Amino acid sequence: MDSATYDVLIVGGGQAGIPLAYKLAGEGMSVALAERKDLGGSCVNFGCSPTKAVIASAKVAHQARRASEYGIEIPEVRVDFPAVLERARGIVELKRSGLDEGLEGSENPLLIRGHARFEGRHAGEGFRLRVGERPVTARQVVLDTGTRTLVPPIEGIEGVDYIESGNWLEKTELPEHVAVVGGSYIGLEMAQFYRRMGSRVTVVVGNYDHVAAREDDDISEALRDILEDEGIEFVFCERAQKVAPDGDRGLVLTLDGADPTEIRASHLFLATGRKPNTDDLGLETVGLETDRGIVEVDGRLATGVEGIWAAGDIRGGPMFTHTAWDDHRILFSQIAGDGSRTTERVVPYAVFTDPDLGRVGMTEREAREAGYEVEVMSFDMAKEKGKALEIGETKGLIKVVADASSGLILGAAVLASGGSELVHAYVDLMNAGAPVSVIREAVHIHPTLAEDVQSAVA
């Protein structure tokens, strides 16, 4: 098969790759997009979309169980677990089919199905690759290959049919008791989901003395309290050492430095971090090195090899869908624009527990370590006497960290109903370079949860 030559080959049809392909083609460049499996990346296929769908189902079940608090009697709440997963799969199929339909009939950008691998440099300008059985030459290459679950070195793990972020949607049996290894964001979200579906849940947290270790202690403790109130158990240990089948009862997980030292459960869910999909790209043939799989880039998303760029989770730094999507704007600016857009940006994120945690900027700990004189403002949602009380959503707190001299917001955490939405008030102030007094002096609608964003800094 003769090799085709493209101005740009994008490897991976994720949140950066697809919009970038369309935009570069719109500028008259010849573009190919290589995808070995499903378009949409982790977000569409097993991450953002389906997890938020099942979390929504879990919230309905939780609200139904709380109905008597609102003067409503619901005699029985029955969870149809396979139907919950089927609804999520339907949303995945809807989104994925839309991406497929958009690209299947396109000549530029051209979708090429198959695994892409470098085979060296082209004799002239650019790089030689093979996508499936098709040889391809590209003047520039963008890597957007994403990540997969990092399986920790637990003795016996290969003999256990564990659940992880890539396969959970296919596991239609509701666990009787699921042990979740990992106390960070994915682990906490899925722990609450399974608990609200009816499972007993034990979260195993290794190497840290609190959950969501990136957060300030007060936010972490509040989040843990909320989840414990729903019956989720937490065990802290040095590490999960060993796992083995336990007859018909499931499995036994052995822990180092924990009390108890063994957990017997029906299922195991691994939420132990992510591993870049860069180990089978032939990067060594073009002299591109990685650091534990991460492709190091500069602020322009350029790698150490001229003409090769990286986007999304594999480039290190924030691993979020919204940063991957913004990466396509940076790359478009660098490849076909004026080169002004870089990774200098305010990056918010959320933990989609219920209540959800919206976060942006530095924690109080990080701000003090950076040498700032800080002003810390906080608001306990349980003391709120407005909308939160009226709708029965009074768990959580809001915390804002500002520079004491300028009033500029350094960071904020909104652990509240709708916290992932409410935090954007602080995000926008940070992007505008405006002081916290802008919110303090504003007029907010009553009664709204947005009033609490103001009350936190009043």
CATH of the domain at 218: 3.50.50.60
From residue 229, give the alpha-carbon distance in Å to each of 136, 219, 388: 56, 16, 18
Whether residues 255 and 167 share a domain: the answer is yes
Residues 130 and 39 in one domain: yes
226 and 359 assigned to the same domain: no
Among 284, 303, 336, residue at a domain's last position: 336
Residues 330, 372 share a domain = no
pLDDT at 346: 97
Whether residue 55 is contained in a domain is answered as yes
- Of 223, 248, 272, the position where a domain reaches its end is 272
* Per-residue model confidence as pLDDT tens digits over 141-168: 999 999 999 999 999 999 999 999 999 9
**Closest residue by Cα to residue 87 from 13, 162, 172:** 172
Q: What is the CATH number of the domain that holds 448?
A: 3.30.390.30
Q: Measure the CA angle with vertex 254, ends 249 and 258; round to 5°.
A: 125
Which pLDDT band holds residue 214 (cuts at 50, 70, 90)?
very high
Percent of the chain with pLDDT over 90: 94
What is the rounded average pLDDT of the residues 204-226? 94
Q: Where are the beta strands (DSSP E) in 106-229?
A: 110-113, 116-121, 127-131, 134-143, 147-149, 163-164, 177-181, 200-206
My answer on whether 107 and 237 are in the same domain is no
- 3-state helix, strand, coil split of the chain in percent (to 5) is 35, 25, 40
Measured N-to-C along each axis, helices 48-65 and 185-197 cross at an angle, to the nearest 10 degrees, of 40
Does 343 reside within a domain?
no
Helix (H, G, I), strand (E, B) or coil at 97: helix
pLDDT at 122: 84
Same domain, 210 and 331: no
Do both 161 and 140 map to the same domain? no
Helix ranges, 120-259 (H): 185-197, 217-229
Separation in Å, CA 402 to CA 189, 243, 374, 427, 429: 29, 46, 6, 13, 12
Beta bridge partners of 116: 131
Same domain, 166 and 253: yes
Residues 27 and 139 in one domain: yes
Specify if 97 maps to a domain.
yes
How many CB atoms neighbour CB 376 within 10 A? 15
Do 456 and 378 meet the contact criterion of CB atoms below 8 Å apart? Answer: yes
Predicted confidence at residue 2, as pLDDT, reads: 60
CA distances from 137 to 66, 120, 200 (A): 60, 10, 53
Nearest to 349 by CA among 420, 430, 272: 420
pLDDT digits (tens, 9 = 90+) for 96-111: 999 999 998 899 999 9
Give the mean pLDDT of the chain: 96
CA–CA gap between residue 303 and residue 355 (Å, rounded) = 39
Q: Is the pLDDT of residue 362 over 70?
A: yes
Of 314, 336, 358, which residue sits at a domain end? 336
Residues 178 and 263 in one domain: yes
In a domain, residue 296? The reply is: yes
Confidence check: pLDDT of 124 > 80: no
Query: Which one, of 85, 100, 23, lies nearest residue 54 by Cα?
Result: 85
pLDDT in tens, 2-17: 679 999 999 999 999 9
Angle separating helix axes 48-65 and 81-104, nearest 10 degrees: 150
**Which element (helix H / strand E) includes 273?**
none
In a domain, 341, yes or no: no
pTM score, whole prediction:
0.95
Q: Residue 274 carries which side chain, given as an amino acid letter?
A: R
Does residue 268 register a pLDDT over 60? yes
Q: Is residue 32, in this structure, part of any structural domain at all?
A: yes
The answer on pLDDT for 1 being more than 60 is no
- 325 with 373, same domain: the answer is no
Residue at 342 is within a domain: no
Higher-scoring residue by pLDDT: 124, 80: 80
Domain residues for the domain of 309 are 4-148+276-336
Alpha helices in 345-423 (DSSP H): 364-369, 387-390, 419-422
Closest alpha carbon to 9 in 1, 20, 100, 188: 20
Instruction: Determine the average pLDDT of the residues in 185-204.
Output: 98
Is residue 48 domain-resident?
yes
Strand partners, 137: 5, 128
pLDDT tens digits along 325-335: 999 999 999 99
Q: How many domains does the chain have?
A: 3
What's the rounded Cα separation, in Å, for the pair 112 and 249?
46
Tokens 């060296």, located at residue: 120
Within a 10 A sphere around the Cβ of 374, how many other Cβ atoms?
Answer: 18
Q: Do 71 and 142 belong to one domain?
A: yes
